[in-house]
Amino acid sequence: MIFFILACSESITEAVSQKETFIVVRETVDFPLNEEFNFVFTIMNLERSPITPEEVFVDAEMPEHGHGMGQTPTTSNTNDLYTSTGMIFAMEGDWDINIYVTEEGSVDQATYSVVCCE
């Protein structure tokens, strides 16, 4: 017997960066409409050990509409748990949350595609 597991984008909690240099594991699962929320995550190397990059920047955009959030969140790190405060989704629909990580002067990006606000 073969079983298939189907998952919507909201249930995916791990994202590998484009250059495959790090993994982001997100804690946040709810994305409210027109309310600020925190996006909480950890960053690990491919061996699944926490890393502390030189810089971490988070933003979000609606690719189908060609715009972002309209404000820039602030990201902090406490004991290898990152929190981006000031995230806000002003419209319902598909959003990409982009996590940019700078290590040794090189930038790589991981992206989560989520739907607001089901």
Separation of alpha carbons 30 and 32, rounded Å = 6
CATH number for domain 9-116, candidates 1.10.1140.10, 1.25.40.10, 2.60.40.1930, 2.40.50.100? 2.60.40.1930
Cis previous bond, 117, omega within 30: yes
pLDDT tens per residue across span 30-59: 899 999 999 999 999 999 999 999 999 999
pLDDT tens per residue across span 11-36: 568 999 999 999 999 998 889 999 99
Residue 11: per-residue pLDDT: 57
pLDDT-derived band at 7, boundaries 50, 70, 90: very low
Sequential DSSP letters for 27-55: ------BSS-EEEEEEEE-TTS-B---SE
The pTM assigned to this predicted structure is 0.86
pLDDT tens per residue across span 69-100: 989 999 999 999 999 999 999 999 999 999 99
Average pLDDT over residues 62-72: 91
